[in-house]
Structure 1
Amino acid sequence: MDLDAALRDATRRLTEAEIEGPNREARILLMHAIGADQTGLLRRRGGKLTEAEAGTFQAMVTRRAAREPAAVIIGHREFWSLDFLVTADTLIPRPDSETVIEAALDYRRDRPPSRILDLGTGTGCLLLSALSEFQDAWGLGVDLSPPAALVAEANARRLGLADRAAIMVGRWTDALAGRFDLILSNPPYIPAGDIPGLMPEVERFEPHLALDGGPDGLDPYRRLFGDLPRILLPGGLALFEFGIGQAEALVALAETLSLKVIDVRRDLAGQPRVLAVSHP
């Protein structure tokens, strides 16, 4: 099969499926199918695909046209310049979540944490990215999903961080007895009634366990904010990602529970995205 023709056909199919950026998505899938990077793809333009490459590429395009996310199809996604394994059991790491790591560095660069906790770790992207920056720290990731915890463990090994990261299956802080000086979390924050209206890539293919934040999307924060005095060291920092339109309610909740609100950080699109809190 002619490579350029295959790419054009894939772009057409993804356009018809209403995929945003269909040519870019087709190129990502093609690079994975032939085992090449951007340079390798350019070198092969005008050439042919092998029968195996063509079959793999066509199967991947069919899955993407059905709105399965490209990150799940190819099995990995970049986050904080690190490469993370991704499966259908985990949320796909998103650039918005890098705001959590940026905030951690801004607030703790001069006082690096020694013990980091990531609640709802998923792929481990927050925990492992933080450990890559705070190189004397040890971290614990907690997730309710055993398959997600296995993905986080695999990512820790792949990134050479397994000696400083432990992954545990559990419900939030139930099994925790120690305290941490940096806590990170991207908990479920989608109101349950809004999930059926999400884009198909999310509603059909990402785990609802990691999306459903209860009737108003804030149930996990009520639980976690209440636990902070027990698990956050005095002078420690907790960073929580949240959804669009939730900042005001979360600030009010934190203040009601006598937490100290340090900042509301905005993401690259200018949306309020991360709440930084501590406790007296």
Structure 2
Amino acid sequence: MTRRALLDDAVARLQASGVEDARRTAEWIVLEATGATRAAIYARPDVVVDPAECALAHRYVVRRATGEPIQYVLGHTDFYGLRMTVTPDVLIPRPETEEVVEEALRRIRPRAAPWVLDVGTGSGAIALAVATERPDAEVFAVDVSPGALVVARANGDRLGAAVKFLEADVLLPSFAAEVPPAFDLIVSNPPYVPQAERAGLQREVRDHEPATALFVPDGDPLVFYRALAGHAEHLLRPGGWLVAETHADLGRDVVALWRRSGLDAVEVLPDLAHRDRIAVGRRRGERSD
């Protein structure tokens, strides 16, 4: 089978399965299976593909056609310029979370050798992006999922980033005792999708990504933001920042909650689509160091 035939076959199968952007997805699959570049695929479409590579591409197509996200199929995604391994144990990092990283980095820009804590690290995307951009920082990352921490540690080892990964549950009162104190920044992309929205999600998200990383428990949509604000008093240095991604419908509620919790300079910032998605607050007081 030639490159052109392999690509056309993948496009047709994916389109028949209702996969959005079937051609681009088929290109990713053919590139991954053959190791060729996109330019080579189109410049030399009549090159015959090795049968083993054809078989691998077909397996990828079958998996994607059933609704499995392409990032899980290929085993990786790109985030903030970093190649991140992803598995069904972790949420797939989204482009909007890169904006959270940008805001977090902006808040610690004036601080030398800042201490940073990433809560609910998943694949380690936020922590590793911060550590890569700020190699002088002491970065810690926690997650409640042992499976997620396996992925995060592997990403850290591969990228050579000195992030300390810990297993801890931010919803427990003991959380503050399980991590070091005195952070300049706590950053988080916590679960924030209400259970009521589950049925309306894309099948790729609903059926394949880890529910514990997506959905808030019934009854309190602000439970994770409440926990973050409560721990901030003990874990943030005076003047330290709390930055978290939010559901677009919860941004104003998070602001009100954090203000009642005693945080200062609280605001919710829009993402590039002009949705309220990044909550920011600061522990009162000035740094003494």
The answer to whether the 8 Å contact 1:25/1:70 transfers is yes
The answer to whether the 8 Å contact 1:99/1:265 transfers is no
1:167 partner letter: F
Instruction: Name the CA shift for 1:139/1:224 in 2 (closer, same or farther; >3 Å).
Output: same
- Bigger shift: 169-178 or 183-192? 169-178
* Structure 1 position 44, deviation (Å): 4.1
* Structure 1 position 208, deviation (Å): 0.5
- Give the match for residue 135 of structure 1: 135
Indicate whether 1:197 and 2:200 are aligned: yes
The answer to whether the 8 Å contact 1:99/1:266 transfers is no
The answer to whether the 8 Å contact 2:271/2:277 transfers is yes
Q: Trace 1:126-275 onto structure 2 (pairs within 5 A).
A: 126-161=126-161, 164-172=162-170, 173-174=175-176, 175-215=178-218, 217-275=221-279
Q: Deviations over 1:40-83 (max 9, x none)?
A: 43454222221111111011001101110011111111001111
The answer to whether the 8 Å contact 2:33/2:53 transfers is yes
Q: 3-state SS of the aligned residue for 2:57? A: helix
The answer to whether the 8 Å contact 1:121/1:127 transfers is yes
* Structure 1 position 193, deviation (Å): 2.6
Please give the alpha-carbon distance, in whole angstroms, between the structure 1 residues aligned to 2:183 and 2:44: 51
Please give the alpha-carbon distance, in whole angstroms, between the structure 2 residues aligned to 1:177 and 1:24: 44
TM-score, reference length from structure 2: 0.91
Instruction: Name the CA shift for 1:168/1:159 in 2 (closer, same or farther; >3 Å).
Output: same
Please give the alpha-carbon distance, in whole angstroms, between the structure 2 residues aligned to 1:153 and 1:118: 14
Please give the alpha-carbon distance, in whole angstroms, between the structure 2 residues aligned to 1:133 and 1:84: 15
TM-score, reference length from structure 1: 0.94
Please give the alpha-carbon distance, in whole angstroms, between the structure 2 residues aligned to 1:137 and 1:40: 41
The answer to whether the 8 Å contact 2:88/2:208 transfers is yes
The answer to whether the 8 Å contact 1:103/1:265 transfers is no
The answer to whether the 8 Å contact 2:255/2:266 transfers is no
The answer to whether the 8 Å contact 2:255/2:267 transfers is no
* Structure 1 position 112, deviation (Å): 4.2
Q: Trace 1:111-130 onto structure 2 (pairs within 5 A).
A: 111-130=111-130
Please give the alpha-carbon distance, in whole angstroms, between the structure 1 residues aligned to 2:255 and 2:268: 9
Q: 3-state SS of the aligned residue for 2:280? A: strand
Q: 3-state SS of the aligned residue for 2:26? A: helix
Please give the alpha-carbon distance, in whole angstroms, between the structure 2 residues aligned to 1:94 and 1:111: 27
Please give the alpha-carbon distance, in whole angstroms, between the structure 2 residues aligned to 1:39 and 1:210: 37
Please give the alpha-carbon distance, in whole angstroms, between the structure 1 residues aligned to 2:121 and 2:254: 21
Please give the alpha-carbon distance, in whole angstroms, between the structure 2 residues aligned to 1:240 and 1:90: 18
Please give the alpha-carbon distance, in whole angstroms, between the structure 2 residues aligned to 1:74 and 1:233: 41
Q: Deviations over 1:189-229 (max 9, x none)?
A: 01123223311111111000101112353221111111110
Q: Deviations over 1:141-200 (max 9, x none)?
A: 101111100111111111111xx2110111123522522111110000011232233111
Please give the alpha-carbon distance, in whole angstroms, between the structure 2 residues aligned to 1:182 and 1:209: 24
2:223 partner letter: D
The answer to whether the 8 Å contact 1:11/1:22 transfers is yes
Q: 3-state SS of the aligned residue for 1:140? A: strand
Please give the alpha-carbon distance, in whole angstroms, between the structure 1 residues aligned to 2:53 and 2:30: 9
Please give the alpha-carbon distance, in whole angstroms, between the structure 2 residues aligned to 1:264 and 1:112: 26
Q: Trace 1:50-129 onto structure 2 (pairs within 5 A).
A: 50-129=50-129
The answer to whether the 8 Å contact 1:85/1:155 transfers is yes
The answer to whether the 8 Å contact 2:131/2:139 transfers is yes
Please give the alpha-carbon distance, in whole angstroms, between the structure 2 residues aligned to 1:60 and 1:15: 14
Q: 3-state SS of the aligned residue for 2:221? A: coil
- Give the match for residue 287 of structure 2: none
- Give the match for residue 16 of structure 1: 16
Give aligned-pair identity as a percent.
36
Moved over 4 A (4+): none
* Structure 1 position 265, deviation (Å): 2.2
